Structure 1
Amino acid sequence: MRIIGYVQHPVWKITVFKTDTRLSVKFEDGLLEQTYKFVQQDRLNALGEVQQLIDQKFILTVERRFREMERHRAEALARHTSISPEDEFDTII
């Protein structure tokens, strides 16, 4: 797998990868990431074609999914972690 380029975005890092059989687009936002994979039959072969694919509607869908992922992550952490006063760090002045 090799990186064939990046798609500019003000917040996310968007990397485009290519292998012999598929092309992958990875969106990174802090601790979260989404990867979309396309096969040769999808007729995406170059960075420019991927840049056209990632239109405003696609970006809005990715953004919505990132919000859902963060919510799920926060809910899971809240269910499985609880900090008692004994676990907190001492205040240093």
Structure 2
Amino acid sequence: MRQVAIIPYPQVKITLLAWNGKYLLKLEQGPLEQTYKVAELDMNGVVPPDVEIRQILDDEFLTAAVARFQAMQQDLRAAFARHELR
């Protein structure tokens, strides 16, 4: 697995990785992460992959991803509470 780029964004850490014919777009916020796989064949190959991936990371996508992190955190807290864990 090769790290292609770290893409700055204030609310999440975004890492672009290349692995096995795919680009992995990894978003991290604290202990949670979301990973999206994009096949190399789905990219046009005209510009570097990090430039193309930045087009995917538009405001709508990132706003939804941040909201998803909030939902994930709520789900985890609820599961802990149901089982009386910390």
1:75 equivalent in structure 2: 78
TM-score (norm 1): 0.81
Contact 2:11–2:66 (CA under 8 A) maintained in structure 1 = no
Structure 2 gaps, min length 5: none
> What residue number does 1:59 align with?
62
Per-residue CA shift, 1:15-58, capped at 9, x if unaligned? Answer: 00012410000000001100000112321651110111100000
Which residue number in structure 2 is paired with residue 88 of structure 1?
Answer: none
**Do the aligned residues in 2 keep the contact of 1:21 with 1:39 (CA within 8 Å)?**
yes
State the shift of 1:12 in Å: 1.3
Quick check: 2:3–2:18 contact (8 Å CA) kept in 1?
yes
Unpaired stretches in structure 1, ≥5 consecutive residues: 84-93
Of structures 1 and 2, the larger Rg is shown by: 1
Runs of 4+ in structure 1 over 6 Å off:
none
Which residue number corresponds to residue 21 of structure 1? Answer: 21
Rounded Cα–Cα distance in structure 1 between residues aligned with 2:16 and 2:44:
11
Residues 16 and 82 of structure 1, relative CA distance in 2, 3 Å threshold: closer
C-alpha RMSD of matched pairs (Å)? 1.6
CA drift at 1:81: 1.8
TM-score by length of 2: 0.87
Would the aligned equivalents of 2:28 and 2:34 in 1 still touch at CA under 8 Å? Answer: yes
Percent of pairs with identical residues: 33
Deviations 1:40-78 (A, max 9, x none): 232165111011110000001101110110010000000
Shift of 1:82: 5.1
How many corresponding residue pairs?
Answer: 83
